Amino acid sequence: MASRNTNINILSQIDKPTLVLYIILVLWGWVTIYAASYNFDDTSIFSMDSRAGKQLLWMGLTTILAFGILSIDHRKFEAYAYPLYALTILILIITIFIAPNIKGSHSWIVLGPIRVQPAEFSKFTVALCLARFISTYNFTLKNLSNLVKAILLIIVPALIIILQRETGSALVYLAFTLVLFREGMSGLILLTGVGSITYFILALKYAETFWGITCVGDLLVLTLILSVLVMMTTSRYKRRGVFKIMLIICSSIALISGIINIFTPVNWVYTLYAMILSISIYTFILSVKSNTIKLLLPIGIAAASILFMLSVNYMFNNVLEPHQQSRIKVSFGMEDDPRGVGYNVNQSKIAIGSGGFFGKGYLAGTQTKLKYVPEQDTDFIFCTVGEEFGFVGSTFLILLYVSLVLRIITLAERQRDAFARVYGYCVASIFIFHIVINLGMVLGISPVIGIPLPFFSYGGSSLWSFTILLFILLRIDASRTERGY
Amino acid sequence: MRKDYNLEKRKYIIGGFIVVIAIIYIVRLFMLQIVDTDYRRFAEGNAFLKKVQYPSRGMIYDREGRLMVYNQSAYDVMMIPREVKEFDTLAFCNAIDITKEEFEGRVKRMKDRRYNPSYSSYTPQLLISQMSAEEYGRLQEILYKFSGIYVQNRVIREYKYDIAGSLLGNIREVSSSDIENDSYYKAGDYTGDLGIEKSYEKYLRGEKGIEILLRDSKGRIKGEYENGKYNEAPISGKNLTLSIDAELQEYGEYLMQNKIGAIVAIEPSTGEILAMVSAPTYKPSSLVGRERGKNYAKLVKDKYKPLYDRTIMGVYPPGSTFKPTQSLIFLQEGIIKPSSSYPCHGGFISGRLKVGCHPHSAPIAMKPALATSCNAYFCYGFKAMLDNRTKYERTDEAFTLWKDYMVSMGYGYKLGIDLPGEKRGFIPNSEYYDKYYRKGRWKALTIISVSIGQGEVLATPLQIANLSATIANRGYYYTPHVVKQIQDSEIDSIYTQRHTTMVESKYYEDIVEGMRMAVTDGTCRIGEIEGAEVCGKTGTAQNPHGRDHSAFMGFAPKNNPKIAIAVYVENAGFGATYAVPIGSLMMEKFLNDTIATDRKPLEERMAKSNTIIYSGVKKH
């Protein structure tokens, strides 16, 4: 039969570097789960009572699943993209109603001894659907209605998942903005998004830190705004000397403030306002002199950013209730919460920090064994790597993840058709989001959002979900020569 | 093929993004793992010992502010199995007075995850609970020899008044289902079991504290982690003030010895319960300490079921104590007037049906009917109501109305007392009889016995006492409750809401007169207290299991009542022989603090008499 030949063909065509990275990560994840749930009394890594044993079972099933995906005709993914999406939405909605309350979340369907989280599987169907939509003939994201439709495709499942009280999983859908960016969405939108989040976190995180009478949060945000303003003006007005003049303006304002500071304490926030105002006026003069409208944009962005900063402060202090403020602060790691999130992150840092350069050795970590780190075999599993394999091991793991992501981007870019490329970027973006947020959380940098580390965190749903995502890409990539014409 | 080379450049931005983040993270790892040595220092050796600090449990006072329940220290022996080196079992067992087999059994149980799901050989595990101070002293002297053994301070209950076992409840070790249902609990914790200890557990238990200690590699404590920054002091449980009068309660238990039954006394103006005696009772102190298990098993096996709180779980035929409710319904519905009379020639006779009565003058009006507890009067009234086709279209419609009246008086449903395990009693509705006799096949005569508190109707002593309080208040009641005050908190608002019945206040005055007449000239004459104007109603409830139950319901004084009471003594015969004297003595004790000299012989007779022998239960 032809299909058998195709199967053999596919195995030889499959991208080897990705496959090797995948196998290393899954196996390393498995031994780490064993280490994280190890307590010196359990005997075997294969024991079905242990989480490692259960993970092994999941891995076995995953292998079958992976072969299953590889045997599917590569054109089918495109063909079934829309029906699969519709089915996903339906299942997600049903889940809200039939899922039992598990730690406040209504996202698990319980089938006998097995618990499945449909939100995990919606990632690949949304990715397929988005890829199909964007690869429509003559499609461009420069068209506003197309952009809105694409965003709706992404946001609808995310909202349903929020209704299931799984905000962490819903936030993963933010990752698709990277795909939209690659496919032509204006970089300004991405910049605005990233900028707003950065401003928001900085403004809040350092809102109560003061240098003298200067509020550090405002100072940092204004410095960022000033930098963006200067950079945009220089890049838009391509003539020498502009940057130098702006530097002189800022230095003189700084100098004046410094002199005043000798006599009376200066609020450096006002100094920065003065700088931004002066640079804006200078930019405006340049714009009028050279008759270039596009120079007004940096001024507008600076003004909008300042407004945003002020409104964040106002909203936070005057609109939100104290307990809501506290909750946001705790989840951004700005407030100590010895019993909850704050304590966890602190313990996680201690576990990682205690690993040193080479680590304590496999199964020799005391912090994770003493159960000080919560969720140590799921969301916080990177602690165990940090503690037992040290700086060397953790860095190596991060490099493995970076290689995987870069390889996926390469695969995406080498596709001849838009569907395959967009799907590839979807996979890359989801991995990027999970890796960045999970590691950032464990390292105490990013907010605490409970999402798994791909292939490492214990759990069948997430292992399956990441495997499906990746193997559909591998399957399509294996047939890339037949596609696109 | 569509490919935009301008857009393709964006792959560098996306790829660059992950690379930059990765560099930031690696720098962060470098700072955490190599530059900053604090973290390594913390984790060197075994790092932390998390020590739970148990809060002291809230204390319990009576309504006069007398301390009833407080705490005493006990000591739990904890073991960290990983740290145990050579172990001199014999010396250890001698110090705490257990046998080697017992010790081995306990170790085995500790390591068995079925009993101890959170077992870990790295954290302290409960080995022996609740050592006395004396045993602790002996162990303390040789503790240095045993690595891996620690002693944890705990609090257990101590009783100033060793009474009210089923009301107060007790504390026990948590079960695995407790741990599953409430994340507050860890294996080895205590929780309230039965009574107030259970229903007010959330207030009484307080909040556990935690002390995080640093240890070196040999397990020696090296002080607090970050000077106690992450420690949490325990928060003591809230104290409770009960509405119970400890001395009245004690007196009630004294009178009820060697009897089976219940007493419930309520302050009518507030719904506060003054005493609730379930007999036979048991000493709460017997369920404290290491003997708890043994004593508990004994109580479970006891044929007289002392663990069964008869005040709220016992469902009895209310008997004649039910009659005032019937008068009230008939008056409100206009079926009778206080002056209406019915004949009684040795009972209620209709065709072949006869409900017997005792001799008294006839025909008889409502108040004397209550006073002499005439059965016929209420049978006639009930029949007149259910058969009244001008007022009600059908019998079942009339009966549904009758049931609604009963429910408004607190019967048929749980009253909602702040104790676990309350039963609802039973008031049948039309559907019940439709099912039992088939629809349309029953009428007043079929179910006539409910009018005299027999037949299907069942009530708890609490409901009967609540009826008494409602009559004392002339038509309203507050949900009975045993906790008067919670420290730093308010009692549930359901206990401060007034419930009004469907009967107008003016009709209650007639009932009060009738109940007063029962004491002056009727069945309750023995219940009169000098200068208190007692009102009452006897009950003699037939039951299929043996001798009649003796019941009494009453209140005093007639105007501005201070106490309402229900007494139920199983298999003790006429209401007037046991229930009335006991109820009257209780009221006298509460109102006057002492028993008048001429009533001392009555008091003694009540306390000494034994009716448990008529219960038909053979004691082994």
Question: What is the chain B residue with the closest CA to A179?
Answer: B14
Chain B residues whose CB is inside 8 A of the A103 CB are none
What is the average pLDDT across B82-99?
77
Q: What is the pLDDT of residue A335?
A: 58
Q: Do B33 and A182 touch (CB under 8 A)?
A: no
Q: 3-state class of B56 per DSSP?
A: coil
pLDDT of B33 > 80? The answer is yes
Q: What pLDDT digit, counting tens, does each position of A31-48 carry?
A: 998 888 765 555 566 666
Chain B residues whose CB is inside 8 A of the A418 CB are 2
User: How many angstroms separate the Cα of B103 from the Cα of each of A210, B88, B91, B133, B152?
Assistant: 60, 12, 12, 19, 18
Q: Do B44 and A357 touch (CB under 8 A)?
A: no
At residue B113 the predicted structure's pLDDT band, cuts being 50, 70 and 90, is low
Closest among B238, B511, B182 to B190, alpha carbons compared: B182
Selected residue of A40, A41, A347 to mutate for chain B interface (largest B Cβ count, 10 A): A41
At residue A338 the predicted structure's pLDDT band, cuts being 50, 70 and 90, is very low
Q: Which of B1, B32, B121 sits opposite A352 (nearest CB)?
A: B32
d(CA A176, CA A150) in angstroms, rounded, equals 10
Kind and range of the H or E element at B33? none
Q: What is the pLDDT of residue B115?
A: 66
Average pLDDT, chain B: 83
Task: Flag whether residue B1 sits within 8 Å of chain A, measured between CB atoms.
Answer: yes
Q: What is the dihedral of CA B179, B182, B188, B189, to 10 degrees?
A: -160
Q: Do A371 and B122 touch (CB under 8 A)?
A: yes
**pTM of model > 0.90:** no
Q: Do A366 and B47 touch (CB under 8 A)?
A: yes
**Domain boundaries of chain A, sorted by first residue:** 2-185+331-482, 194-319
Q: What pLDDT digit, counting tens, does each position of B322-370 carry?
A: 888 988 998 888 888 888 888 888 788 777 777 778 777 778 888 888 8
Q: Residues of A18-39 as b/e, b for ≥16 C-beta within 10 angstroms?
A: beebbeebbebbbbbbbbbbbe
Q: Do B230 and A343 touch (CB under 8 A)?
A: yes
Task: Flag whether residue A466 sits within 8 Å of chain B, measured between CB atoms.
Answer: no
User: How many angstroms separate the Cα of B452 from the Cα of each of B235, B327, B541?
Assistant: 54, 11, 9
The residue with tokens 């209140």 is B555
Where, residue-wise, is CATH 3.40.710.10 in chain B? Answer: 246-281+310-615
Q: Do A390 and B33 touch (CB under 8 A)?
A: yes
Q: 3-state class of B390 per DSSP?
A: coil
For chain A, positions 252-311, list CB contacts with chain B under 8 A. Answer: none
Task: Flag whether residue B120 sits within 8 Å of chain A, measured between CB atoms.
Answer: yes
Q: Do A370 and B47 touch (CB under 8 A)?
A: yes
Q: What pLDDT digit, counting tens, does each position of A426-438 carry?
A: 999 999 999 999 9
Class of residue A325 by CB neighbours under 10 A (exposed 0-12, middle 13-18, buried 19+)? middle
For chain A, positions 377-436, list CB contacts with chain B under 8 A. Answer: 386-387, 390-391, 394-395, 398-399, 401-402, 405-406, 409, 412-413, 416-418, 425, 428-429, 432, 435-436
Q: 3-state class of B158 per DSSP?
A: strand
Q: What is the pLDDT of residue A339?
A: 47
Q: Do A40 and B43 touch (CB under 8 A)?
A: no
Q: What is the pLDDT of residue B375?
A: 85
Query: Quick check: A338 and B209 in contact, CB under 8 A?
Result: no
Phi, psi dihedrals of residue B190, rounded to the nearest 5°? -110, 155
pLDDT of A7 > 70? The answer is no
Closest among B582, B538, B611 to B248, alpha carbons compared: B582
Chain A residues whose CB is inside 8 A of the B48 CB are 370, 372
Peptide bond just before B343 cis, omega within 30 deg? no
Q: Do B43 and A39 touch (CB under 8 A)?
A: no
Q: What is the pLDDT of residue A234?
A: 84
List the single range of A45-54, B494-503, B518-527 with lowest mean pLDDT: A45-54
Domain B49-242, architecture per CATH: Alpha-Beta Complex (3.90)
Give the sign of the dihedral formed by CA A459, CA A464, CA A469, CA A474.
positive
> No. of H helices and E strands in chain B?
22, 22
What is the average pLDDT across B35-42?
69
Phi, psi dihedrals of residue B312, rounded to the nearest 5°? -120, -15
Q: Do B29 and A425 touch (CB under 8 A)?
A: no
Task: Flag whether residue A43 sits within 8 Å of chain B, measured between CB atoms.
Answer: no
Q: How many other C-beta atoms are found inside a 10 Å radius of the C-beta of residue A392? A: 15
d(CA A449, CA B375) in angstroms, rounded, equals 74
Q: Which residue has the higher pLDDT, A375 or A454?
A: A454
Q: So what's the ipTM on this one?
A: 0.84
d(CA B559, CA B109) in angstroms, rounded, equals 63
The nearest CA of chain A is from the CA of B268 a distance in Å of: 43
Where, residue-wise, is CATH 3.90.1310.10 in chain B? Answer: 49-242
Phi-psi region of B359 (alpha: psi -120 to 50; beta: other; left: phi over 0): beta
d(CA A208, CA A382) in angstroms, rounded, equals 31
Q: Do A445 and B230 touch (CB under 8 A)?
A: no
The nearest CA of chain B is from the CA of A337 a distance in Å of: 9
Task: Flag whether residue B24 sits within 8 Å of chain A, measured between CB atoms.
Answer: yes
The residue with tokens 């964007």 is A134
Domain B246-281+310-615, architecture per CATH: 3-Layer(aba) Sandwich (3.40)
Q: Can you give B187-230 as a three-state secondary structure string?
A: CCCEEEECHHHHHCHHHHCCECEEEEEEECCCCCEEEEHHHHCC
Mean pLDDT highest for which of A88-92, A329-333, A354-358, B138-142?
A88-92
Closest among A405, A411, A382, A414 to A395, alpha carbons compared: A382
d(CA B457, CA B467) in angstroms, rounded, equals 15
pLDDT of B46 > 50? The answer is no
Q: Both tokens of residue B26? A: 């690696």
The nearest CA of chain B is from the CA of A415 a distance in Å of: 10
Q: Do A428 and B14 touch (CB under 8 A)?
A: yes
d(CA B119, CA B116) in angstroms, rounded, equals 6
Query: Quick check: B167 and B195 in contact, CB under 8 A?
Result: yes
